[in-house]
Structure 1
């Protein structure tokens, strides 16, 4: 399943270079997103960075531990966009929420409807097999839906949408629906599932 942690003897050697760790994580991020977790081997990762395989184990106890850091890096990279687009109090809450999805849809169009969301991809591949990975996925999905919740709670407070359902529940449903739409997008190589997502969410659910 996951690679066994090397013995202490395997960890002896030169002191790790600080930038090597980040370079490995960034390489893992690209390769996991493009080829998937299972299909990406440690050897390929270290070769892409130009370091020996032993350098990997100077920084990470296992592929599982490495995968967690890649997940964390992926969410951290996207968190600034979430904060910038969804926390601007000068913009109406549903306007900024819809603008966020419009931005993402345009990005997927430009990329040719490939890759999707790394959190969703890793969930499908690894969540059943690793409690550690699952823990980090749950945390990041929770943070992500929390940004949506902020917008939806404000919209409810302003009377723009009803409050029959808690904002937190609505936010989770929107995120779950978006993740499903991304899977269909990749299968169909089309933006139709994303457009349909918007039609239902903004045309009906939040109308």
Structure 2
């Protein structure tokens, strides 16, 4: 893809991302997406075979950016493994602040909606979640190695912690407060230092 082509494709993804975050996948029609992105129908079909394919690519694009930010954050060698992880989750709490945030909620927003609707989109969400769990597990391993995290099964703990934070984000979105996220932070501290 040349730069202009890639730019148009990314523009459609960016506009679609914002629309889907605010309305959900099924509520956003193709005509609304095209009008908001100010691109002709042919441009959409040049990059995406269908709306479902667009959703799959959107999810993969979201996780690519999210994982890059996550891994940058977790690679700070001046901090212990524990400090890196707790800093990440403290930031999740600060950024989330009881509202759906552009860097957190796509999984929460689409998880239930598309899991029964689209197998490719469900698989893309699952793969992205597994990659996040893997990054968290790597950081737990570094914390075990530097002595800041209690020795444990890093992959199981990472899975539990991530699921806990997704659930807390969902409840936080429903209640419009951060109480569940604050509880998740305390529970994460306990799991890492048990």
**TM-score, length basis structure 2:** 0.89
How far apart in 1 are the matches of 2:123 and 2:12? Answer: 22
Correspondence 1:190 to 2:174? no
Structure 1, unpaired ranges of 5+:
1-16
- Give the alignment of 1:120-135 within 5 angstroms: 120-135=108-123
Secondary structure (helix, strand or coil) at the match of 2:25 reads coil
Correspondence 1:101 to 2:79? no
Instruction: Kindly indicate whether structure 1 or structure 2 has the higher relative contact order, using CA contacts under 8 Å at least 6 residues apart.
Output: 2
Which 4+ residue blocks in structure 1 deviate beyond 3 angstroms? 158-162
Pick the structure with more helix per residue.
Answer: 2
Secondary structure (helix, strand or coil) at the match of 1:135 reads helix
Correspondence 1:201 to 2:176? no
- Give the alignment of 1:121-200 within 5 angstroms: 121-163=109-151, 165-200=152-187
Secondary structure (helix, strand or coil) at the match of 1:91 reads coil
Greater shift, 54-63 or 43-52, is seen at 54-63
Once the two structures are TM-superposed, the CA of residue 161 in structure 1 deviates from its matched residue by: 3.4
Once the two structures are TM-superposed, the CA of residue 192 in structure 1 deviates from its matched residue by: 0.8
How far apart in 2 are the matches of 1:151 and 1:56? Answer: 39
Correspondence 1:114 to 2:100? yes
Bigger Cα Rg: 1
Structure 2, unpaired ranges of 5+:
none
Residues matched between the structures, number = 187
CA contact (8 A) 2:172 2:180 kept: yes
CA RMSD of aligned residues (A): 1.6
- Give the alignment of 1:12-31 within 5 angstroms: 18=5, 19-31=7-19
How far apart in 2 are the matches of 1:57 and 1:142? Answer: 30
How far apart in 2 are the matches of 1:63 and 1:28? Answer: 10
How far apart in 2 are the matches of 1:95 and 1:68? Answer: 34
CA contact (8 A) 1:87 1:147 kept: no
The one of 45, 57, 61 aligned to 1:57: 45
**TM-score, length basis structure 1:** 0.84
